[in-house]
Structure 1
Amino acid sequence: MSISQTAPVPSGALWTGRALSGLIILFMIFDGVIKLPPLDIVTQTMVPLGWPADPNVARMLGVIGLVSTALYALPRTSVLGAILLTAYMGGAIATKVRVDSPLFSHELFGVYLGIMLWGGLYLRDPRVRALIPFSR
């Protein structure tokens, strides 16, 4: 079966995928929105991670996260959004590894989000299911 002839997604998988994707979208909207205004709590928590306490840097990260999330939320661009969010999570993971944060609660948090992100997309998008066939 080619990508253009994808099988329909079962209802349970579709709703589970939507729920997982919805959680990621809500989390990333929160993450991006709190970085937009010059909140002292945001800029001060960036310093121990090696980032400057600069509201413009926080704002830039917020915009990148929000744009990537918007692309992920739209069915037509969801795969591009997932790729961009994966890159965003990779940067967060690298930052946490560099400052020697705790492994399971901090360093791997981006991995957990990435699994939810791609799992949700896999469950709700037949094109992704066709590209990544776990079973036949």
Structure 2
Amino acid sequence: MNLNWRYVYSLLGVLWLLQLLVGAAFIILTAKSGFYGPVYFALFMSAFFCLTTLTLSFITLLDTYRVEVNVIHVIHDLLAALLYIALMGIMIDQTLRQSYCNFEGYPLPCAYNVFLGAAVCGGFCLGLYFFSACYLCWALDQ
């Protein structure tokens, strides 16, 4: 099996690695916050897009169907960017719902900081997936 390692050291490889790392941070923060309501959806979608990013990146390394995989990767990244807008909205809503416990001396456990961190990670994921889609569109045009 001949792997095309130039993708690993390119801008796309760095973007894919950052998508995986920030997506994993989003998954960890979402899982740490407790499972209730729309947080299930956020956890499922972030895990789904991390796994599909990993799969598409590995298939791109194989260099067999590069153009077809890049087109699929553009669609995947645009869809991920759109859904991370929703996931970020869910985390912002959950952060606002937990804002009552964000003061000194609150005796009960509070998930405010966890939801805030997940919202920030969601924003980073949104930016990374959108930038990756734009870069892949530009690269396919060349």
TM-score relative to the length of structure 2: 0.47
TM-score relative to the length of structure 1: 0.48
